[in-house]
Chain A
């Protein structure tokens, strides 16, 4: 079976298992909703004020809520020792990693896409002015979070305090991706298209995704087996 078909088999398995239980996605969406509502009480509600903080606000919510999904990624394999069966199957570690990362990406993106209209309603902001560019930033930023979250989920899977360890390890590494996504999102929500003054953030975001995807694919075998 080709590499990409194996990636698909792993991704479909994870998505099917999650959609049957809805454990992580319900918790993640509920958490995103609660933070968005709480922050709406805490911050100034003028249009300019909200536009200025929108990038930071959205990506903090996405990073926190996304961690709940990413935490489950390899932890899902622990009951019944399913991780042993996956590790002993004749599939490259990179295929296993990519399959899991794609499933996580779809789930985190789904939470983000539902959270955006909620953000628009609670903060009275029209976030759709540059919707296609905003979607591009969402895709790149979410892939960055997902790649880092998935590889560290594999690293922390056998740690008893993995729910605590995963965010502590991943957030510092995510900083460049979060910074780029925040800067771009704030400008796009305010209606400013990506131009010469901020295109470097987009390049940095794409570079971050490429580098960490490649590094994770190379390292995942060592992370899982030692």
Chain B
């Protein structure tokens, strides 16, 4: 089954087309790496896939649903550029808040389990504003995985992470893939991404320059995709 699909998606900022006729698919259980230079449209596409903004033209489907339908949102987890947790609340309060919003049966128990998994159990009651950068990032990861999403949309997930947070995230992503979950991630860190990716999509000036399975050449030489298909290729 197709987990994530974009058909003829256009997105305009004023008159400028940030996305031009994007068509791509990620089957269930796939890991799709969205790569491209700065300004290629990766974040715009991920935000449209997550339902934060509607495309000007075209259709996006998450397991056959429009991303704004509650059914699609229940199955989606998103990590963007911000950590999306509240500085004024404690780590436990933040995770419980999202647990309640996602309708978890026992938000407190689930939140405590994720604080344990991300190494934050001992600071569960501490306010996020008192956390170090690495702790905040691990909390953001816990927030995105808390409700057991079937589709993970990750915008530059490894950028600005400390070593511990990278290790936590890589472990969680491998587990998610082993459980048959679907991952779509944009990244500049090609080596980390291509190790996980089953599919690759290269964006160039808002268009898909390449979309296909990740090959051994791509994994052994992360610059291969750019050299072969990139920058107008």
Chain A contact residues, CB within 8 Å of chain B: 1, 5-6, 9-10, 13, 16-17, 20-21, 79-82, 84-92, 221, 225-226
Residues of B whose CB lies within 8 Å of any CB of A are: 50-54, 68, 70-71, 73-74, 76, 78, 80-89, 93, 97-98, 100-103, 127, 143
Known: A84-B78, A90-B70, A225-B54. 5 other contacts (CB 8 A): A10-B101, A81-B84, A88-B50, A221-B68, A225-B68
Report chain B residues within 8 Å CB of A225.
51-54, 68
Q: Which listed residue (A79, A89, A221, A226) contacts B102, Cβ 8 A?
A: A89
* 14 pairs from A and B in contact (CB 8 Å cutoff): A9-B100, A13-B97, A17-B88, A21-B88, A81-B80, A84-B50, A85-B84, A85-B98, A86-B101, A87-B51, A88-B50, A89-B98, A90-B70, A225-B54
Q: Which residues of A are found within 8 Å of B81, using beta-carbon distances?
A: 81
Q: Are B88 and A16 in contact (CB under 8 A)?
A: yes
Could you tell me if A79 and B87 are in contact, using CB atoms closer than 8 angstroms?
Answer: yes
Q: Contact at B88–A81, with CB atoms within 8 Å?
A: no
Main secondary structure on chain A at its contact with chain B? helix
Q: How far is the CA of A80 from the CA of B127 in the complex (A)?
A: 14
Would you call A84 and B80 a contact (CB within 8 A)? Answer: yes
**Contact A90 B84, CB 8 Å, known A221-B68, A226-B54:** no
Whether A81 lies near B102 (C-beta < 8 A) is no
Taking CB atoms, residues of chain B closer than 8 Å to A226 are 53-54
Asked if A84 contacts B52 (CB within 8 A), the reply is yes
B84 touches A89 (CB 8 A): no
The answer on a CB contact under 8 Å between A88 and B52 is yes
Q: Which residues of B contact A1 (CB under 8 A)?
A: 100-101, 103
Q: Choose among A6, A21, A88, A226 the residue with the greatest number of B CB atoms under 10 Å from its CB.
A: A88
By Cβ-Cβ distance, the 10 closest A-B pairs, closest first, are A81-B82, A85-B84, A90-B73, A89-B101, A17-B88, A90-B74, A20-B88, A90-B70, A80-B82, A1-B103
Check A90–B103 contact: CB distance below 8 A: yes
Contact A80 B85 (CB under 8 A): yes
CA distance A87 to B81 in the complex (A): 15
**What residues on B are CB-neighbors of A13 within 8 Å?**
86, 89, 97
